[in-house]
C-alpha cells in the first residue's frame, strides 16, 4: 500500500518558523522495517536541538523521535511485531511528526493494552530516559539521594515517581512555586524554586552539608557548576541535556578537587541501540505504568499543524508534564 502522510519537515535550521507541514509519500517496509500509522506524537527538547542545528541534521529532514500507533505492515526479519499490533517508540531516524512512516523495527516496542496511544506517545523518550538514569547509568539503591533539575517537566515528573517507587530520595528544582508543588505531588521529597532560592545552598542545607549521591541535570550551562558543588565525594554527575546551552569547557582537575567526582554525558540512543536491551527497558517502564507506580501526565496537546506553537511553548518553559501532537 503506497500513500502519502502529512509530515513536519525543515529545509533549514532555525526558529519555529522553519517548521513546514507537507505531504510525503509513505512506501512499503523493507527488511527489518515496519510501517506504522501514528495516533499521537511526542514533543521533546531534542526536537528543538535538531531544529536549531545544535544537533544538526542532513537537510531537508523530517522531525520527531517519539510516537505511538498501529503497525500496518512489517518487512522480512521482523518477528516481534505484526500488522494490527499497538506499538510505541522513541528512536531514530527522525520523522515521528507524521501521520505514518516506514522506519527500522528494532526499537519499536509492542504497547500494552492498558496504556493509551496518547500515553505511549508521551512516555517513551522521557520514560526510557528515566529508566537508564536510574537503572543503567550508576548503581542506585533505596536510601540514596538524587538532585534532579527540571523536576516538573515531562522527564522530571516520571523521575519523581520512579524515585518514590524505588525508595530513593529525590530533591527537585523548578522555576516556580507551582511547578515545585507539582514535583512534590509526584513524589519529590523536596523541591527548590531556583528563581527565589540558591539551589546549591539549599541542597547542602537539606543534606546536612553532606551533598547528594547523584545529580541528574538536563539544564546544562546554567546549573552545571552548582551541580558539581553539591555532590558527595565520589558522587556521579549525569549531564543529559542542554536546555540553557551546552556546558562550557572545564578542567578535569575540578573533579579531583571536589572529591574524586565522576561525570558522564549519556544519550538514550546509545542505551537502546541493542534491540533486546531496548525491549527489556521498555518492559520495565511499561510495568511501572501498568502497576500504577508511574502515571503519565499530559498537560499540553497541539494539533500537528500547530507544531510551531508547541515548540514555542516548550522553549519558553511554559509546559509541564508531557506534550503531544494530535493527529
Write out pLDDT tens, residues 104-127.
Answer: 999 999 999 999 999 999 999 999
Domain chopping of the chain, boundaries: 3-126+269-326, 138-265
Architecture per CATH, 3-126+269-326:
Alpha-Beta Complex (3.90)
Say how far apart CA 262 and CA 101 lie, in whole Å: 40
pLDDT level of residue 66 (50, 70, 90 thresholds): very high
Q: Is the pLDDT of residue 179 over 60?
A: yes
C-alpha cell at 223: 546549573
C-alpha cell at 73: 505492515
Which phi and psi (to 5°) does residue 123 adopt?
Answer: -110, -20
Q: Is the pLDDT of residue 308 over 70?
A: yes
* CA angle, 283 then 273 then 79, to 5°: 60
Residue 143, phi-psi category: left (phi > 0), alpha (psi -120 to 50), beta (remainder): left
- Give this prediction's pTM: 0.92
Say how far apart CA 241 and CA 130 lie, in whole Å: 13
Report the pLDDT averaged over residues 294-302: 94
Residues in a beta bridge with 68: 40, 88
Length of the chain: 327
Cβ 64 vs Cβ 95: under 8 Å: yes
Residue 8: what pLDDT?
A: 97
pLDDT level of residue 241 (50, 70, 90 thresholds): confident
Alpha helices in the chain (DSSP H): 45-52, 117-135, 154-166, 177-185, 199-206, 224-228, 253-257, 268-271, 275-290, 307-315
Residue 104: what pLDDT?
A: 97
Q: Is the pLDDT of residue 135 over 90?
A: yes
Residue 166: what pLDDT?
A: 97
Contacts of 79 (CB under 8 A, 6+ apart): none
Q: State in Å, rounded, how far the first CA of the chain is from the last one.
A: 20
pLDDT level of residue 248 (50, 70, 90 thresholds): confident
Residue 3: what pLDDT?
A: 85
Residue 245: what pLDDT?
A: 80
pLDDT level of residue 132 (50, 70, 90 thresholds): very high
C-alpha cell at 256: 579531583
pLDDT level of residue 2 (50, 70, 90 thresholds): low
Contacts of 190 (CB under 8 A, 6+ apart): 171, 172, 184, 206
Q: Which of 40-44, 177-181, 220-224, 289-293 has the lowest mean pLDDT?
A: 220-224
3-state secondary structure of 237: strand
Residues in a beta bridge with 35: 73, 102
Report the pLDDT averaged over residues 185-212: 96
pLDDT level of residue 246 (50, 70, 90 thresholds): confident
Architecture per CATH, 138-265:
3-Layer(aba) Sandwich (3.40)
Query: 128: buried, middle or exposed (CB in 10 Å: 19+, 13-18, 0-12)?
Result: buried
Say how far apart CA 320 and CA 248 lie, in whole Å: 27
Percent residues over pLDDT 90 in the chain: 88
Q: What is the dihedral of CA 41, 46, 50, 54, to 10 degrees?
A: 170
Q: Is the pLDDT of residue 53 over 60?
A: yes
* 60 DSSP 8-state letter: S
* CA angle, 189 then 122 then 107, to 5°: 110
Report the pLDDT averaged over residues 74-97: 97
Q: Is the pLDDT of residue 1 over 60?
A: no
Residues in a beta bridge with 70: 37, 86
3-state secondary structure of 107: coil
pLDDT tens digit sequence for 265-278: 999 999 999 999 99
Percent residues over pLDDT 70 in the chain: 99
Distance of CA 251 to the CA centre of its chain: 28
Q: Is the pLDDT of residue 212 over 70?
A: yes
Contacts of 63 (CB under 8 A, 6+ apart): 8, 9, 10, 19, 47, 50, 51, 94, 95, 96, 97
* Averaged pLDDT of the chain: 95
Buried b or exposed e, range 16-46, using 16+ CB within 10 angstroms:
bebbebeebebeebeeebbbbbbbbbbbbbb
Q: Is the pLDDT of residue 244 over 70?
A: yes
Say how far apart CA 36 and CA 102 lie, in whole Å: 7
Q: Is the pLDDT of residue 208 over 90?
A: yes
Amino acid at each position: 500500500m503506497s500513500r502519502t502522510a502529512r509530515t513536519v519537515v525543515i529545509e533549514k535550521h532555525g526558529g519555529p518558523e522553519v517548521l513546514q507541514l507537507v505531504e510525503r509519500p509513505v512506501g512499503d517496509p523493507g527488511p527489518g522495517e515496519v510501517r506504522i500509522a501514528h495516533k499521537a506524537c511526542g514533543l521533546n527538547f531534542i526536537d528543538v536541538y535538531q531544529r536549531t542545528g545544535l544537533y544538526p541534521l542532513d537537510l531537508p529532514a523530517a522531525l520527531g523521535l517519539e510516537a505511538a500507533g498501529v503497525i500496518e505492515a512489517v518487512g522480512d526479519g521482523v518477528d516481534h511485531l505484526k500488522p494490527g499490533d499497538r506499538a510505541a517508540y522513541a528512536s531514530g531516524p527522525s520523522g515521528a511528526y507524521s501521520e505514518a512512516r516506514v522506519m527500522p523495527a528494532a526499537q519499536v516496542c509492542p504497547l500494552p493494552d492498558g496504556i493509551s496511544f496518547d500515553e505511549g506517545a508521551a512516555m517513551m523518550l522521557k520514560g526510557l530516559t528515566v529508566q537508564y538514569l536510574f537503572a543503567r547509568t550508576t548503581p542506585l539503591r533505596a536510601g540514596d539521594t538524587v538532585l534532579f533539575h527540571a523536576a516538573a517537566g515531562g522527564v522530571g515528573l516520571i523521575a519523581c515517581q520512579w524515585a518514590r517507587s524505588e525508595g530513593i530520595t529525590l530533591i527537585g528544582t523548578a522555576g516556580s512555586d507551582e511547578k515545585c508543588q507539582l514535583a512534590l505531588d509526584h513524589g519529590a521529597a523536596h523541591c527548590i524554586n531556583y528563581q527565589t532560592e540558591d539551589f546549591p545552598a539549599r541542597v547542602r542545607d537539606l543534606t546536612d552539608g553532606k551533598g547528594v549521591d547523584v545529580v541528574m541535570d538536563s539544564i546544562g550551562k546554567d546549573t552545571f557548576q552548582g551541580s558539581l558543588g553539591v555532590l558527595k565525594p565520589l558522587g556521579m554527575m549525569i549531564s543529559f541535556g542542554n536546555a540553557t546551552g551546552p556546558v562550557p569547557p572545564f578542567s578535569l582537575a575540578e573533579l579531583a578537587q571536589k572529591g574524586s567526582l565522576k561525570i558522564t554525558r549519556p544519550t538514550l540512543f546509545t542505551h537502546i541501540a541493542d534491540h533486546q536491551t531496548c525491549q527489556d527497558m521498555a518492559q520495565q517502564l511499561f510495568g511501572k505504568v501498568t502497576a500504577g507506580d508511574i502515571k503519565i501526565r499530559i498537560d499540553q496537546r497541539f494539533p500537528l499543524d500547530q507544531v510551531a506553537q508547541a515548540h514555542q511553548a516548550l522553549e519558553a518553559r511554559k509546559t509541564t508534564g508531557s506534550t503531544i501532537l494530535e493527529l
